[in-house]
Amino acid sequence: MVGFNIVERLAEKKCQVRLIEPAEVPNDEIVVNFACVGATANVAYHSDAAIKTLRTLEEFLTKRAYAIVPSELGGFSTLAAVDMAAGQGVPVVDADGAGRAVPEMHLMAYTLDNTALAPMVVADIDAQKVVLVKQAKDPVSVEAKARALAAKWNQMAYAAFGVLTGKQVKTSLVSNTLSASIRIGMLLRKTVDPLKAILRETGGFSLFEGVVSSVERETKDGFTWTELKMDGVQDSAGSRLELKAKNAFLIAHKDGKLAAIAPDIITTVSFETGKGVPAEKIIESNKLIVLGIPAPAKWRSPDGLKLWMEVMKRSGIDEKYVPIEKLAR
């Protein structure tokens, strides 16, 4: 809902945000990643405070960002970055740091290229408390610092970080994800069978159709943890699906067997509309379709899988990665 509110406000003000290709960023300019860090159930957003977060980082760098890039592909964080670009009067890059929503902020594709996440500025929702992290020993420690502050500040914070040169933008980000999202939005609105069209667009799979029978949810340590159980209907009748999320869905089991696992994307959509329903919004009796979408290629590399394996273990998940294409046969 917060993401929709951002869109509605920008539309009411007739704000135009220019979407640029990574190749359009001059090599000697910089691009800054922006994220909202914390528990998805506690999402809140104040535009002026978010912009203050970015400006504090620019003051430290003594250089203005040529453009903004979302740190991840998500309904809220992505639109917050778009709003930031509108507020600064700069473009937003048609790319993001991960090609999907991620549970921990160091899960960025450019982390695999040994790009530093610090310097970083973290602020509370009103930007009354602002912390500058000048340097950090590694990306995991950057995540830990930002997450600890978010947990302290009512489970949510802003972060401006991941300063990339124009040259790095061209090679390190997951490109063209915003334009792909726009195409998917058009499909949802205009096609007769939007689900089929989305699966064709993403190369994804329909994993399960069912009704949510139980939801367990807890917000702690800067995350929203969710466990769902679903009873199958139609083609999935007689089966049960179990899902676990740490902000984003990480693993699914169908009748006790692995059905999907991160870094591949597991997402839930409304049975009636095909629109996404995030983990923190799902309630009992929701009728949902669960989709599995292949992860961007960088996450399937040995280094990408290693980074994800560390996050999964911290999330209480020890199962090995199996590509969605094999599981969905």
The predicted-structure confidence for 79-128, as pLDDT tens digits, reads as follows: 999 999 998 999 999 999 999 999 999 999 999 998 999 999 999 999 99
Pair 75, 169 in one domain:
yes
Pair 162, 219 in one domain:
no
pLDDT score recorded for residue 112: 93
Pair 250, 127 in one domain:
no
The predicted-structure confidence for 41-75, as pLDDT tens digits, reads as follows: 888 899 999 999 999 999 999 999 999 999 999 87
**189 found inside a domain:** no
The predicted-structure confidence for 131-143, as pLDDT tens digits, reads as follows: 999 999 999 999 9
**266 found inside a domain:** yes
Pair 208, 296 in one domain:
yes
Could you give the C-alpha distances from 306 to 245, 297, 302, 310, in angstroms and in order? 19, 14, 6, 6
Pair 53, 148 in one domain:
yes
CA distance 293 to 260: 9
Total structural domains in the chain?
2
216 beta partners:
227
Give, for 58, the enclosing helix (H) or strand (E): helix 47-61
Q: What is the CATH number of the domain that holds 248?
A: 2.40.390.10
Name the band, by pLDDT with cuts 50, 70 and 90, for residue 4: confident
**183 found inside a domain:** no
Q: What is the mean pLDDT of residues 174-179?
A: 96
Q: Answer with the one of 177, 211, 229 that is the final residue of a domain.
A: 177
Residue 2 has pLDDT above 90, yes or no: no
Q: What is the mean pLDDT of residues 244-261?
A: 97
Pair 173, 218 in one domain:
no
Q: Answer with the one of 177, 206, 230 that is the final residue of a domain.
A: 177
Q: Which of 131, 121, 158 is nearest to 45 (CA)?
A: 158
Q: What is the CATH number of the domain that holds 77?
A: 3.40.1610.10
Pair 93, 224 in one domain:
no
Query: With contact defined as beta carbons under 8 Å apart, do 6 and 74 qualify?
Result: no
Pair 98, 72 in one domain:
yes
Pair 138, 274 in one domain:
no
**186 found inside a domain:** no
**188 found inside a domain:** no
Domain coverage including residue 231: 195-327
**136 found inside a domain:** yes
pLDDT score recorded for residue 315: 95
**299 found inside a domain:** yes
The mean pLDDT value of the chain amounts to: 94
**164 found inside a domain:** yes
Pair 166, 203 in one domain:
no
Q: Answer with the one of 149, 177, 205 that is the final residue of a domain.
A: 177
Pair 66, 117 in one domain:
yes
Pair 164, 264 in one domain:
no
First to last CA, the chain: 35
Residue 235 has pLDDT above 80, yes or no: yes
DSSP 276: B
